[in-house]
């Protein structure tokens, strides 16, 4: 019995994995195992012999079972220890940069401008981009023969053959939204109309699609002085610095009198700085809404008057963020993208050779 004990204890100590332990358990304690076999011999013994051998055999059985369990546990501990050492994770490592989308610069600037005018009591109005020639031209006092129609490089849609109505146009400015809003809501009115406009024009400072914001304020006693104050305040808020404006006499068919508005700026090494220096830069068109336009929109010009202005969002965005070429918006100028934190640019494997 002692031999048996020593042999099994030795084998158990050498067992290298769980399968080996199980194998030994079956060999010693299984139904046909060696120790189970010895237990069976107890039945054929004399009572005295059984009394002597019984407890010994039971103790042996318990000892072997305990040794098996202990070895099994220590093998499991060792396996866990090994995993812990090979599979460790440094939770203090910085995370990998995630690619993130971000708002388009034009949308951002539009939101900035809309927020400034919202503070002054202007609400947002919108209109269609495919517009009738009535809203885009006639209602704004631009009749069919008017040179302004040719100047605006209008995109026309096609009518079906035999349909002789004037074709629709891609709106050339946001001014038709003035008419639609006055028709719908009457006066008094104070609105700001951001949106896309289209002209057949393409060079460093012009793209066939660009963005404007129209402003309109109609009341019983609104004057050009209000216009000047509103523009100076809003442009100063937009550029984050006091911006002086200069009104130059001009002509728009839908305003009388009309003024083009310049802002104070300086040029240094080809870059422009707004709000300082003795140069001037044109940023928008404006004027007092023409009585004919009020009438066309169903408003009594004897009772109401007011101002309107239209400015290019792209131009203002370029000035604020120092982009020299308008096409940057369409050809993804990297300075723009960086300015707005496009993470993809900073992942080396995604960076183009030319960067
Ligand atoms: N609609 C004019 C343009 O696109 C701008 C403008 C708007 C001028 C309102 C005066 C009043 O050039």
Residue 154 Cβ < 6 Å to ligand 1: no
pLDDT at 215: 98
CB 205 within 8 A of CB 326: yes
Model-level pTM?
Answer: 0.68
Residue 137 Cβ < 6 Å to ligand 1: no
Angle (CA) 173-176-181 rounded to 5° is 135
- Phi and psi at 5, nearest 5°, equal -60, -50
Pocket test for ligand 1, best of 254, 294, 312, 314 (most atoms within 8 A of CB): 254
CB 227 within 8 A of CB 286: yes
3-state secondary structure of 254: coil
Each of the 355 residues of the chain gets a pLDDT tens digit; together they read 778 888 888 889 888 888 889 998 999 888 898 888 888 888 888 888 888 888 888 888 898 999 989 999 998 998 899 888 888 888 899 988 877 766 777 888 999 999 999 999 999 999 999 999 999 999 999 988 887 777 678 999 988 999 988 889 999 999 999 999 999 999 999 999 999 999 988 776 678 899 999 999 999 999 999 999 999 999 999 999 999 999 999 999 999 999 999 999 888 877 788 888 998 989 999 999 999 999 999 999 999 999 999 999 988 888 887 766 655 565 555 555 555 554 444 444 433 433 3
Superfamily, domain 105-340: Bira Bifunctional Protein; Domain 2 (3.30.930.10)
Residue 173 Cβ < 6 Å to ligand 1: yes
Q: What whole-number distance in Å separates Cα of residue 150 and Cα of residue 156?
A: 12
Domain ranges of the chain: 1-85, 105-340
Q: How many other C-beta atoms can be found within 10 angstroms of the C-beta atom of residue 206?
A: 15
Q: Whose CA is nearest to atom 9 of ligand 1?
A: 309
Distance 196 CA to ligand 1 centre (A): 14
3-state secondary structure of 352: coil
Q: What ligand 1 atom has the least distance to the C-alpha of 174?
A: 1
* Residue length of the chain: 355
pLDDT at 308: 98
pLDDT at 343: 41
pLDDT at 302: 98
């Amino acid at each position: 019995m002692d031999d048996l004990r020593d042999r099994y204890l030795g084998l158990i100590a050498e067992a290298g994995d769980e399968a080996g332990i199980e194998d030994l358990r079956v060999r010693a304690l299984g139904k046909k195992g060696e120790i189970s076999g010895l237990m069976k011999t107890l039945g054929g013994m004399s009572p005295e012999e059984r009394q002597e051998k019984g407890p010994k055999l039971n103790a042996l059985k318990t000892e072997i079972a305990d040794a098996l369990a202990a070895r099994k546990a220590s093998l499991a501990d060792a396996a866990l220890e090994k995993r812990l050492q090979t599979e460790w994770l440094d939770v203090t490592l910085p995370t990998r940069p995630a690619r993130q989308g971000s708002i388009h610069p034009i949308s951002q600037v539009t939101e900035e401008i809309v927020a400034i005018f919202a503070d002054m009591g202007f609400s947002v109005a919108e209109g269609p981009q495919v517009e009738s020639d009535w809203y885009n031209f006639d209602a704004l006092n631009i009749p069919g023969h008017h040179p302004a129609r040719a100047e605006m490089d209008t995109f026309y849609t096609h009518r079906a053959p035999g349909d002789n109505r004037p074709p629709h146009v891609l709106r050339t400015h946001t001014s038709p939204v003035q008419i639609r809003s006055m028709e719908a809501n009457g006066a008094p009115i104070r609105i700001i109309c951001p949106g896309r406009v289209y002209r057949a024009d393409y060079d460093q400072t012009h793209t066939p699609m660009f963005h404007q914001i129209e402003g309109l304020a109609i009341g019983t006693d609104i004057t050009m002085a209000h216009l000047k104050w509103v523009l100076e305040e809003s442009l100063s808020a937009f550029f984050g610095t006091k911006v002086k404006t200069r009104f130059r006499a001009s002509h728009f068919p839908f305003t009388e009198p009309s003024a083009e508005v310049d802002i104070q700026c300086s040029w240094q090494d080809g870059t422009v700085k707004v709000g300082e220096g003795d140069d001037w830069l044109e940023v928008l068109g404006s004027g007092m809404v023409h009585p004919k336009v009020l009438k066309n929109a169903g408003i009594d010009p004897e009772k109401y008057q007011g101002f309107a202005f239209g400015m290019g969002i792209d131009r203002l965005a370029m000035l604020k963020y120092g982009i020299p070429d308008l096409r940057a918006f369409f050809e993804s100028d990297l300075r723009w993208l960086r300015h707005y934190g496009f993470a993809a640019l900073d992942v080396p494997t995604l960076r183009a050779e030319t960067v």
